[in-house]
Structure 1
Amino acid sequence: MEDSSLKPVFSIITPSYNMLGYLKRCCASVADQQSVTFEQMVIDAESDDGTIAWLRENKQIISVVEKDKGMYDAINKGLLLAKGEILSYLNCDEQYLPGTLNFVQEYFEKHPEIDILFGNMLLVRPDGSLIAYRKGFQPRWFYIISSHLYVFSCTMFFRKKIITDGFRFNNSLKAIGDHDFVVRLLRHGYRAVHARRYLAAFTMTGNNMGKSENATDERRLAMAANKWTRFLRYPLNIARIIEKIISGAYWEKMPLVYSVYDSTDSVKRREFRVQRASFRWPTE
């Protein structure tokens, strides 16, 4: 629910470039959130696939159309324009699940000491069918540095004060700016928590940036920059896996019911009921 007469509680930023089909689904998943006020922002790098015309038709979406230096530059532009008190970014190939923003708002209201919130996500195909359920657990910067970002950016919400304090995404990174951003926030002392609730769906398109060569190279460089990981990587990974097991990340009660916008419809969600599901990412 968006009400232009009220200051928005949320600012949701979507970086965009030539992904109109997925962008429509992403924006629809924000637009149908109930009982919250929000502003929806699309920062587009001059797409030539009809995105610009679509944004002009959908004036309820705040849009900025100009060249940028990459995804994280686009997100930073949105963060500087944001009026909401709770900020997030949602890529074109991602969607919020029903009730996500209402849950997040209530969580932050009940827990004023928390600065950052993460949740679980569903990994889906373009037709909306489930590939895997993915559960995060308590984010710890030393686990992330020694391995990977095991909490999910599409489920990340944070207070505006983080941006007011001067934190931004690193524009020089092309694929793991979220990894770098989260580590810096945690090391600075911001309080983060993981909620055991599915907040978003991530569509496996085949061209997702997190699995690109840039991402692999940047992770290697990040690990090399922290020389202590050479000695502590393996014990930290063992500790991380044990904590993940204890958190219940490898189990899910069935049936798993969810609804998303699929490849045939960006107007109405399609409901899925899954009796069996895996926790594994397809490459695992």
Structure 2
Amino acid sequence: MKAELTFSIVTPSYNQGEFLAETIESVLGQAGDFAIDYLIVDGGSTDRSVEVIREYQRRLDQGEWPVRCREIRYRWLSEKDAGQTDALGKGFRMAEGDIFAWLNSDDTYLPGALQAVAERFEEGGDTALLYGDAQYCDARGEVIGRYRTQSYDYGKLAWFNFICQPAAFFRKEAFLAVGGLDATLHFAMDYDLWVRIARRFPCRYLPKPLANYRLHETSKTVSDRTLIANCEEAERLALKYFGWAPLTRVYNTCSARCRANLPNCFAASRVALLAAVGVCTIARSLRLNRGIRLRDLALLNRENFGKLGKSRLEIMTGNKDQDC
């Protein structure tokens, strides 16, 4: 007899009332033969986030929301926290499902996502981490690109996180076995978790669009205010787990640093910017890796050279800078 599957989805939220209703509806609207344990962990928002959260609680309680899966358990809290990773930790400690995931308060699941994931987990009984495709959208919800997901290859995680967080799902047992999320991380906690799970358990790729990953001016992924720390954290984790800081990750760090710190007259010049980033990348790579790594030679390919001088947003989406 087929076991009943329950998804525990955690949404960390702070002052994202503009997008939160769309996120919640994308979870509650999932249809299929599974149950949903949905936990929203709000960090004490000062906008209308709590009002939005309460409204969906009311709809569920009064039977106004059409439940299209076996069951929905909707829980939430709103209190001060120490950031996104702390909020996620609270949610996962409360979670009771078989399959864990988190969906940030500006991202959304695509229709049919959870049913597709449930079917694949049932087919591959030993799968600990399953990830699918995702598309980038802007603040208005318009699709602006596709996340560069690819078939699973543990070694490639060193230089590129091809596992898109809103399109990733993992078994509770694997999450607990590796110690959950690292509370000291603020940006690359997902990448860190993927690597720790992948070192011990089978991971698989589901070639199907599962989620929308929203990019806007306050996104930690693209915000100038957090970009340097974001890149440095991922670079440090690659060095920790794989024993080297790949050239691609060093380049990302140096590009972010140079764009932020060079005088405007230099940063505006593509030639000057490339020269500065190039010098910084070589120097930083030699220092972190204590010399030249032969594995970096494989990264000196046409695809990576084509990224030189492009902004992070253009590299991610394939489009030029735009108003997210």
TM-score by length of 1: 0.76
* In 2, Cα distance between equivalents of 1:94 and 1:72: 16
Larger radius of gyration: 2
Runs (4+) of structure 1 exceeding 6 A deviation are none
Q: Which residue of 1 aligns with 2:221?
A: 210
2:70 equivalent to 1:73: no
* In 2, Cα distance between equivalents of 1:220 and 1:14: 26
Percent of aligned positions that are identical: 25
1:95-244 mapped onto 2 (5 Å cutoff): 95-145=108-158, 147-165=159-177, 167-187=179-199, 189-211=200-222, 212-225=227-240, 227-229=243-245, 230=289, 231-235=293-297, 237=299
Code of the residue aligned with 2:19 in structure 1: it is: Y
* In 1, Cα distance between equivalents of 2:6 and 2:297: 41
Structure 1 residues 75-84 or 127-136, which shifts more?
127-136
RMSD over aligned CA atoms reads: 2.4
Q: Name the SS of the counterpart of 1:169 in structure 2.
A: coil
Q: Name the SS of the counterpart of 1:114 in structure 2.
A: coil
Q: Name the SS of the counterpart of 1:220 in structure 2.
A: helix
Q: Which has the higher contact order (CA 8 A, sep 6+)?
A: 1
User: How far apart are 1:228 and its partner, in Å?
Assistant: 3.5
Code of the residue aligned with 1:45 in structure 2: it is: G
Maintained 8 Å contact 1:119/1:152: yes
User: Cα distance 1:219–1:105, how it changes in 2: closer, same or farther (>3 A)?
Assistant: same
Question: Structure 1, residues 218-246: CA drift from partner, whole Å, max 9, x if none?
Answer: 1233344454343254246479x79xxxx
User: Cα distance 1:8–1:105, how it changes in 2: closer, same or farther (>3 A)?
Assistant: closer
Maintained 8 Å contact 1:79/1:163: no
User: Cα distance 1:233–1:52, how it changes in 2: closer, same or farther (>3 A)?
Assistant: farther
* In 2, Cα distance between equivalents of 1:191 and 1:238: 30
Maintained 8 Å contact 1:8/1:39: no
* 2:26 equivalent among 26, 29, 51: 29
Q: Which residue of 1 aligns with 2:268?
A: none
Whichever structure has more helix as a proportion of its residues is: 2
Structure 1 residues 159-168 or 175-184, which shifts more?
159-168
User: Cα distance 1:282–1:13, how it changes in 2: closer, same or farther (>3 A)?
Assistant: farther
Q: Name the SS of the counterpart of 1:88 in structure 2.
A: strand
Whichever structure has more strand as a proportion of its residues is: 1
* In 2, Cα distance between equivalents of 1:45 and 1:163: 23
User: Cα distance 1:169–1:232, how it changes in 2: closer, same or farther (>3 A)?
Assistant: farther
Code of the residue aligned with 1:156 in structure 2: it is: A
* In 1, Cα distance between equivalents of 2:129 and 2:175: 12
Structure 1 residues 147-156 or 203-212, which shifts more?
203-212
Q: Which residue of 1 aligns with 2:12?
A: 15
In the alignment of these two chains, the number of paired residues is 239
User: Cα distance 1:10–1:238, how it changes in 2: closer, same or farther (>3 A)?
Assistant: farther
Code of the residue aligned with 1:161 in structure 2: it is: E
Q: Name the SS of the counterpart of 1:56 in structure 2.
A: helix
